[in-house]
Amino acid sequence: MDRLKILADGAKYDVSCSSSGSSRSNSGGVGSAASCGICHSWTSDGRCVSLLKILMTNRCIYDCAYCVNRRSNDVQRVALSPAEVAELTIGFYRRNYIEGLFLSTGVVRSADYTMELLIQAVRTLREQYRFNGYIHLKLVPGADPLLVQQAGLWADRVSVNLELPTRESLQLLAPDKSRDSVVGPMRQVSSLITANRAERKQSRKVARFAPAGQSTQLIVGATGESDRQIVTLSEQLYQRLELKRVYYSAFIPTVADTRLPARPEAPLRREHRLYQADWLLRYYGFAAHELLDEASPNLDSELDPKTGWALRHLELFPLEINRAGYEELLRVPGIGVRSAQRIIRARRQGHLGTDDLASLGVVMKRARYFVTARGRYAGDAGLDSNGLRSRLLDRPLQKRPVQLSLALEQPVRDETASLITGEL
């Protein structure tokens, strides 16, 4: 029990939590992976729990300044064997506590030896327990390309953490890791995924390689990089290496080190804005240079990046909701992917008015200033950058009295449910 605690404690700073993007079906054993991903619980910091996130061991030969498990930090060192990891995963999984396993580790002896341990745990799960659930495996920087390839064949997702946005900061804070030892496996995985996709087009029998793709993590606020540098880096990772996700982790000092900034509070707001910008890159067709430029290299802490962009481009607004194209709709603050799709669908059956928009899921609090519906402008003030800005600022929500709805319990019993719903 104590070992689990220590190893979970060491892994919790890895922010990747997703269990999506892979759909494995159950072929005789236990488990499946849902392509949408399933959260099973939420901790008291509000982060979701979807995977059993642990370290194989917290022993480490490296001495990275930001890491709890660094060699020079005085913590109790423990390890789990591959068999123990597998047993624990299955026990939790069968009780539906988790969606799968996220296995990371400190580096023991050598990168290759450590990588082999990880692979062994995953193989035990897949072969011995016939486990079809989701597995996210960390690649150890500097591991042999052959091992990297094997890892991708057993896992759903693999990742190497970039940790620091630039070569220089990595050199400063993680002197044992080189940028190349991190980017090398990333490149390899990227090309293996591409090759695997092509092969699977030829024949479905070819085994999947990392079907949920690869991700990485950046620590934000430990070094002096600007948001512009970070967002531009992410854009390149998405475009060139086709990463599925880049995670951002607000730097929380876990060990004292003179190389690290003294920070009373973790830059959580900044992390949040980076995630918003990241979403704009991946789903909204924005480019990094549209969100940030040399004149303003950091994201506005008071406004979300899309609203910020819109305020800088008032010449494009207001947009007529009944005529605008999908890509244009996506750029309106308050309209997301879903509501944009709904607008397109709903307006085929007739023109939409402002009242309709709210029921389609548009956040009118923001959108009203940027759209017209049937030619009518819904904002209560004109399109003027300064006035709008103050209206749109993120303020804590005021609690307004709402009508209480009395739900009368009405039991509906039926025996024919199974017949009608066609489930049985």
Partner 1 sequence: MSGCYCYDGTLAGLLSLYARLLAERVVVERISATPPDQQSLFSSEIYIATDQAVAEAFWQRLTRRLSSHSLKLLRHCLLADHPQQELLIYTYLLLEAEQGKRVDGMLAHPAVAPVWKLSQQVGREAHRYLGFVRFQQLQGGLYYAAIAPDHRILLLIGAHFAERFSDQQWVIHDQRHNEGILYDAEKKEWLLLPMELHAQPEITPQEIQFQQLWRSYFTTLAIPERRNLKLQQGKVPLKVRGYLTEFMA
Least distance in Å: CB of 104 to partner 1? 14
Report d(CA 338, CA 336) in Å as an integer.
6
Reference 385, options 370, 364, 400; nearest CA is 370
Nearer to partner 1, 54 or 388 (CB): 54
SS3 400: coil
Q: Which stretch binds partner 1 (CB under 8 A): 150-158, 169-177, 287-295, 413-421?
A: 413-421
Least distance in Å: CB of 157 to partner 1? 19
Q: Is 417 among the residues that bind partner 1 (CB under 8 A)?
A: yes
Q: Are 56 and 79 in contact (CB under 8 A)?
A: yes
Beta bridge partners of 373: 376
Q: Which of 62, 92, 275, 279 binds partner 1 (CB under 8 A)?
A: 92
Q: How many residues form the binding site for partner 1 (CB under 8 A)?
A: 72
Nearer to partner 1, 228 or 368 (CB): 368
The answer to whether the peptide bond before residue 318 is cis (omega within 30 degrees of 0) is yes
Q: Is 4 among the residues that bind partner 1 (CB under 8 A)?
A: yes
Burial string for 7-45 (b: 16+ CB within 10 Å, else e) reads: bebbbebbbbbbbbbbebeeeebebbbeeebeeeeeeee
Reference 65, options 166, 159, 182, 169; nearest CA is 169
Q: Is 315 among the residues that bind partner 1 (CB under 8 A)?
A: no
Q: Which of residues 323-362 bind partner 1 (CB under 8 A)?
A: 342, 345-346, 348-350, 352, 355-357, 359-360
Q: Is 376 among the residues that bind partner 1 (CB under 8 A)?
A: no
Q: Is 156 among the residues that bind partner 1 (CB under 8 A)?
A: no
SS3 33: strand
Give the largest Cα separation in the chain, rounded: 70
User: Strands across the sheet with 376-377, in order?
Assistant: 319-320, 371-373, 376-377
Q: Are 199 and 251 in contact (CB under 8 A)?
A: no
Binding mask 248-277 for partner 1 (x = CB under 8 A): ----x------------xx-x---------
Reference 135, options 245, 58, 56, 22; nearest CA is 22
Q: Specify the amino acid at residue 38.
A: I
Q: Which of residues 125-144 bind partner 1 (CB under 8 A)?
A: none
Q: Which of 31, 82, 106, 213 binds partner 1 (CB under 8 A)?
A: 31
Q: And the tokens for 209?
A: 């390689």
Q: Which of 43, 386, 398, 403 binds partner 1 (CB under 8 A)?
A: 43
Least distance in Å: CB of 62 to partner 1? 22
Q: Is 374 among the residues that bind partner 1 (CB under 8 A)?
A: no
Q: Is 44 among the residues that bind partner 1 (CB under 8 A)?
A: yes
Q: Is 420 among the residues that bind partner 1 (CB under 8 A)?
A: yes
Least distance in Å: CB of 306 to partner 1? 22
Burial string for 132-158 (b: 16+ CB within 10 Å, else e) reads: bbbbbbbbbbbbeeebbebbbbbbbbb
Q: How many CA atoms lie within 13 A of 368 on its CB side?
A: 15
Q: Which of 295, 397, 404, 408 binds partner 1 (CB under 8 A)?
A: 408
Report d(CA 356, CA 322) in Å as an integer.
12
Q: Which stretch binds partner 1 (CB under 8 A): 43-51, 117-125, 143-151, 227-235?
A: 43-51
Reference 273, options 253, 252, 295, 292; nearest CA is 292
Nearer to partner 1, 403 or 416 (CB): 416
Q: Which stretch binds partner 1 (CB under 8 A): 22-30, 119-127, 143-151, 199-207?
A: 22-30
Q: Which of 58, 59, 99, 267 binds partner 1 (CB under 8 A)?
A: 99
Q: And the tokens for 176?
A: 């044992």
SS3 148: helix
Least distance in Å: CB of 33 to partner 1? 9
Least distance in Å: CB of 8 to partner 1? 5
Least distance in Å: CB of 275 to partner 1? 14
Q: Is 411 among the residues that bind partner 1 (CB under 8 A)?
A: yes
Nearer to partner 1, 236 or 418 (CB): 418
Least distance in Å: CB of 192 to partner 1? 29
Q: Which of residues 52-91 bind partner 1 (CB under 8 A)?
A: 52-53, 88, 91
